[in-house]
Structure 1
Amino acid sequence: MIAALNRLVEFIEDHLTEEIDIAGLASRHGTTEYHLRRMFSSLAGMPVSEYIRRRRMAVAVADVLGDGDLLGIAVRYGYGSTEAFNRAFRSVHGVSPGDVRRNGGPLRTQPQLRFRLTVEGNTTMDTSIAERPAFRLVGHSARVPLIHHGANPHIQAHIASLPATEHARLKELGDTEPAGLLQVSADVEPDYAEGSELTYLHGVAVTETTPVPDDLDAIDVPAGTWAVFHTSGPYPAALQSTWAATATDWFPSNPWRLRPGPSMVAIRDRAADFSTATCELWLPVERAE
């Protein structure tokens, strides 16, 4: 995986003024665009699309400081107008190309990334692989922004809006693994960009044949393989640390890759004030080629 990410960085660098075929590159290296984008975002701290934009604008500075036509420069870097190029340039450098031509700066440089796997061996991840038949996730859903660190207030507000009797009703409805009330994230962008929207569902897992009340939302989940990560400690910090470690430690050193599908968190035990919790993080995976 680390080699594929570095090949992606090299490919981007060699084709900064061209359209980047991430899907084709992923296929040539025995992985998928979905997994490559998710791992890049998790390890680099930014979506691959953002990295490409930053690198293009960093390299474009040399052209902007020359005497070439700005429209020609814009077209060279894949923009159809000077306005679109100006917006991209300003979003990276904080100033317009015209300002840079007049004043020489200020400029912000995005260095070329290099991915390295550091193995320390001091953290053991408690993980299991589960094969599950098709099932359904049912409950109450909402569209919320993705937040990487700390509690998500939008999710908290969604859960708080549900009466206590509804939690009990959902628990009674659940009849398959993962058991108990679940925190489900679905329709997540492959780039996993913070602030992007996802579907959050507060609900339970049921078999395909379980009758579902009309007032509940449902997500159909096909049969497949799941990596189940077990974690315990401060909530949600321990869970978020485990999530991050799947990208930095587990996937690079195991023969599995992410596949499209919802991720699920099952709360197995928790303190009365939810300051600590024992959780299971379920991620949809497939065997890497």
Structure 2
Amino acid sequence: MIEHLNRVVAVVEASLADDPDVASLARSVGTTEHHLRRMFSSLAGLPLSEYVRRRRMTAAAADVLRGDEPLDVAVRHGYGSTEAFGRAFAAVHGATPREVREHGGPLRSQQQLRFRLTVEGSTSMDVRIAERPAFRLIGLAARVPLIHEGVNPHIRAHVASIPAEQHARLRALSGAEPAGLLQVTADVDPDAREGTELTYLHGVAVEAAATVPDDLDAIAVPAGTWAAFRSSGAHPGALQATWAATAAEWFPSNPWRLRPGPSIVAVLDRADDWSTATTELWLPVERA
């Protein structure tokens, strides 16, 4: 996977004016666009699309400082007008091309990435692989923004708005693995960009043929393989560290890759105030 990501970076550098054909590139290295984008975002700390935008504007800044004609610079970097180019330039650098040309800055450069794998075994991964038939996730769903670190206040507000009797009702409906009350994220942006919307469902898993009450939301999940990662400690920090370690350590070292599907967190045990918890993170996977 590290080699694949470096090839993506090389393709981006070869033609900064064009958006890379990630689907074709993924096929050429024997993986999927979904897995390639998610691993890039997880390991680079920014989405592939944002990296391309920043690299393009870094190169454009050099052209602007060299004194090239504005329209020539715009066209060279894939823009049809100086106005569109100026907006994109200012969004990255915080200054217009004219201001940069006159004052030499400010500039916010994006250095070319180089992915390297350091094998340390720093995180002990407690994981099991499970084959699951088709099932459904049912519960109460909301659209919320993606937040990478810390407690998501939108999810917290959604869960807090659910009456206690609904929590008890959902627990009673649980009828499939993962068991118990679940935290489900679905419809996540392919690049997992922070701030983009996703579907969060607070609910349980049931068999595919189970009857779903009309007042509950449902997500159909096809049959497939899952990797379940257990973590324990400060919440949500321990869970988020495990999530990060799946990309940085587990996937590069194991013959599996992510496939499309929801991510599921099963809370196995927790403190009354949620300061600590033992969880299981379920990710949909397939053989690489």
TM-score by length of 1: 0.97
Query: Counterparts of 1:5 and 1:95 in 2: how far apart (Å)?
Result: 31
Aligned to 2:200: 200
Task: Check the 8 A contact 1:181/1:267 in 2, yes or no.
Answer: yes
Kindly tell me the number of residue pairs found equivalent between the two proteins. Answer: 288
Aligned to 1:287: 287
Q: Is 2:102 the partner of 1:130?
A: no
Aligned to 1:18: 18
Aligned to 1:97: 97
Query: What letter matches 2:19 in structure 1?
Result: E
Query: Counterparts of 2:241 and 2:62 in 1: how far apart (Å)?
Result: 40
Task: Check the 8 A contact 1:35/1:190 in 2, yes or no.
Answer: no
Query: Counterparts of 2:222 and 2:121 in 1: how far apart (Å)?
Result: 35
| Uncovered stretches (5+) of structure 2, i.e. residues with no partner | none
Aligned to 1:167: 167
Query: Counterparts of 1:213 and 1:19 in 2: how far apart (Å)?
Result: 45
Query: What letter matches 2:32 in structure 1?
Result: T
Task: Check the 8 A contact 2:185/2:199 in 1, yes or no.
Answer: yes
Displacement after TM superposition at 1:66 (Å): 3.5
Aligned to 2:108: 108
Task: Check the 8 A contact 2:130/2:227 in 1, yes or no.
Answer: yes
Query: What letter matches 2:158 in structure 1?
Result: H
- What fraction of aligned residue pairs are identical, expressed as a percent? 69
Aligned to 1:182: 182
Query: Counterparts of 1:243 and 1:146 in 2: how far apart (Å)?
Result: 14
Aligned to 1:88: 88
Query: Counterparts of 2:106 and 2:280 in 1: how far apart (Å)?
Result: 47
Query: Counterparts of 1:106 and 1:274 in 2: how far apart (Å)?
Result: 44
Aligned to 2:7: 7
Displacement after TM superposition at 1:248 (Å): 0.4
Task: Check the 8 A contact 2:123/2:245 in 1, yes or no.
Answer: no
Query: Counterparts of 2:122 and 2:217 in 1: how far apart (Å)?
Result: 42
Local SS of the residue matching 2:66 = coil
Query: Counterparts of 1:82 and 1:234 in 2: how far apart (Å)?
Result: 50
Query: Counterparts of 1:62 and 1:271 in 2: how far apart (Å)?
Result: 54
Aligned to 2:34: 34
Q: Is 2:260 the partner of 1:269?
A: no
Query: Counterparts of 2:106 and 2:176 in 1: how far apart (Å)?
Result: 58
Displacement after TM superposition at 1:19 (Å): 3.2
Query: What letter matches 2:253 in structure 1?
Result: S
Query: Counterparts of 2:283 and 2:5 in 1: how far apart (Å)?
Result: 21
Aligned to 1:216: 216
Query: Counterparts of 1:94 and 1:19 in 2: how far apart (Å)?
Result: 23
CA RMSD of aligned residues (A): 1.0
Local SS of the residue matching 1:279 = strand
Identify the range of structure 1 (143-152 vs 83-92) with the bigger mean alpha-carbon deviation. 83-92
Local SS of the residue matching 1:65 = helix
Task: Check the 8 A contact 2:132/2:223 in 1, yes or no.
Answer: yes
Displacement after TM superposition at 1:122 (Å): 3.6
Displacement after TM superposition at 1:65 (Å): 2.3
Q: Is 2:44 the partner of 1:44?
A: yes
Structure 1 stretches of at least 4 aligned residues deviating more than 2 Å after TM superposition? 65-69
| Uncovered stretches (5+) of structure 1, i.e. residues with no partner | none
Query: Counterparts of 1:170 and 1:193 in 2: how far apart (Å)?
Result: 31
